């Protein structure tokens, strides 16, 4: 790590289509997230939040602009400076609106798989996965398949999977959408706790305004443009 930023983006732009069908989904989006910082990205549907998240998540590269993770230049436009999949495996954790668990693996195995593909031994992966599930309060459902878990339990398993490899960046897209307010707040607080304990940068895309006090910084996105909320308020 060359500086204290977990994530840095420089004027990210994403354009879909061309000519008459051209759509600018993200326009000169710049954001710096420090280690241990928890950032909320707010905005209406279609504002480009998910596009931004998938760009910094190295899933959907931007048309132009640069992405740094942990101070390392990873993407410049669509050009990758490293093996993106391997980089995601080691440094990024994802949580989605839907839990997105693998249906044929138990809760424990869903967490284990993230560890094993990152080189952990089966035994070590099992111990770490069980610790995380216990920590998130679903240890007693470790052997259950996702179909046997409630939405909240599934989401906590997904969080455990995202945390499994001690990522330096956690990206969450509407992680509380399927949860009640109490569970939603618990998850947000959990992100904050992890960010602070593990010095990870956390970016959460959310519509949920009830737990905004948990975040260190608020960003708002509209028509593909990101602004800090203080700037939003000032304007």
Partner 1 sequence: MNLAVKDIRHNLGRFALTALGIGLLLMIVMGMGGIYRGIIEDATLLPDRIGADFWIIQRDTRGPFAELSRVTPNLVHRALAVPGVRRAREFVYHTIQRERGGKPLRVAVLGLSWPIDKGEWIPLTAGRPLGQNHFEMIADQTLGFQLGELISLGKDTYTVVGLTKSMISSGGDGIGFFTVADAQSIQFDTAGEAIRLERAAREARGEHSEFVTKQPSLLEQAVRPAQELPAIARPQISAVLVSVATGVDSRCVADIIAGWGDVSVYTKEGQRDLLLKGSVEKIRRQIGLFRVLLTLIAAIIMALILYTMTLDKIHSIALLKLIGAPNTVILGLIMQQGLLLGLLGFGIAFAVGQRVFPMFPRRVILAETDLFQLGMIVLVISVASSFLGIWKAMNVSPNEALS
What does the binding site for partner 1 look like in residue numbers (CB under 8 A)? Answer: 50, 54, 59-60, 85-90, 92, 94, 96, 100, 102-105, 109, 112-114, 116-118, 122, 145, 161, 173
Query: What tokens appear for 46 in the block?
Result: 């279609």
Please, what is the minimum distance in Å from the beta carbon of residue 86 to partner 1? 6
The whole-angstrom distance between residue 32's C-alpha and the CA centroid of its chain comes to 15
Please, what is the minimum distance in Å from the beta carbon of residue 180 to partner 1? 23
- Closer residue to partner 1, CB minimum distance, 75 or 218: 75
- Closer residue to partner 1, CB minimum distance, 68 or 96: 96
Would you call 146 helix, strand, or coil by DSSP? helix
Phi, psi dihedrals of residue 33, rounded to the nearest 5°: -120, 120
Please, what is the minimum distance in Å from the beta carbon of residue 151 to partner 1? 17
CA distance 164 to 178: 22
Please, what is the minimum distance in Å from the beta carbon of residue 55 to partner 1? 11
Please, what is the minimum distance in Å from the beta carbon of residue 49 to partner 1? 12
Phi, psi dihedrals of residue 224, rounded to the nearest 5°: 85, 5
- Closer residue to partner 1, CB minimum distance, 24 or 113: 113
- Closer residue to partner 1, CB minimum distance, 163 or 211: 163
118 contacts 152 by C-beta, under 8 angstroms: no
DSSP string, 124-142: HHHHHHHHHHHHTT-GGGT
Give CA separation, 1 vs 24, 34, 69, 87, 214, in Å.
32, 12, 9, 14, 26
- Closer residue to partner 1, CB minimum distance, 89 or 183: 89
């Amino acid at each position: 790590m060359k500086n204290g930023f977990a994530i840095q983006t420089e004027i990210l732009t994403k354009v879909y289509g061309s000519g008459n069908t051209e759509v600018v989904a993200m326009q000169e989006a710049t954001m710096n997230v420090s280690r241990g910082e928890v950032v909320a990205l707010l905005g209406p549907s279609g504002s480009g939040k998910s596009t931004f998240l998938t760009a910094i998540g190295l899933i959907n590269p931007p048309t132009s602009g640069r992405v740094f993770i942990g101070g390392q230049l990873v993407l410049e436009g669509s050009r990758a400076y490293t093996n993106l999949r391997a980089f995601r495996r080691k440094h990024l954790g994802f949580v989605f609106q839907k839990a997105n668990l693998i249906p044929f693996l138990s809760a424990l195995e869903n967490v284990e798989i993230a560890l094993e593909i990152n080189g952990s031994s089966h035994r070590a992966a099992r111990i770490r996965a069980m610790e995380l599930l216990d920590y998130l309060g679903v240890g007693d459902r470790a052997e259950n398949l996702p179909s046997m878990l409630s939405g909240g339990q599934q989401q906590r398993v997904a969080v455990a999977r995202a945390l499994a490899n001690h990522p330096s960046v956690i990206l969450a897209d509407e992680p509380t959408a399927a949860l009640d307010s109490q569970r939603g707040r618990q998850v947000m607080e959990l992100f904050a706790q992890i960010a602070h304990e593990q010095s990870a940068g956390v970016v959460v895309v959310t519509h949920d305004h009830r737990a905004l006090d948990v975040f260190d910084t608020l960003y708002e996105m509209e028509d593909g443009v990101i602004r800090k909320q203080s700037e939003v308020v000032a304007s």
